[in-house]
Structure 1
Amino acid sequence: MKKYFLYILITVLAVKANAQDGFKPSVKGTQYKILANNTGDKIKIGDVITFHVTQKTDKDSLLSSTYQTGRPAQAQVQAQGDLMDIFPLLALNDSVLVKVPTDTIFKAQEDHRPPFLPKGSNLLILIKIIKVQSLTEAMADRDKAMAAAKEEAAKIEAQEAVIADKYVADHKLAVTTTASGLKYKITKMGTKPKPAVGDTVVVNYVGHTLAGKVFDSSIEAVAKAGGLQQPGRVYEPLTFVIGSQGIIAGWQEGLQLINEGGKAMLIIPSKLAYGPDPSGPDLPGFSTLVFDVELVKVNRVKTSAVSSKPVASTAKKPVAKKAVAKKPVATKKKQ
Structure 2
Amino acid sequence: MNYIVMDLEWNQSYNGHMGEHPRMPFEIIEIGAVKVDKNLNIIDEYSSLIKPKIYKKLHSKIRTILNYDEDDLSLGRGFKEVCSEFLDWCGKDYIFCTWGPMDLTELQTNMDFYYMDKLPRPLKFLNLQSIYASVTNTSGIPQSMSKLEKAVSEMNIPENEPFHTALNDARYTALVMKEMKAKNINQLYSFDLYITPKNKEEEIEVSHNNQYEYISRGFRNKHAALDDEKVTQIRCYKCSKKVKTHIDWFANSPSSYMCVGKCWMHGYFCGKIKFKSVNNNYYVHKTIKPIDKQGIEAIKQKQEDIREKRKEKRHMKSSN
Say whether the fold is shared (TM-score over 0.5).
no
TM-score normalised by the chain length of structure 1? 0.24
Q: Which structure carries more helix by proportion?
A: 2
- Tell me which structure has the larger Cα radius of gyration: 1
TM-score (norm 2): 0.25
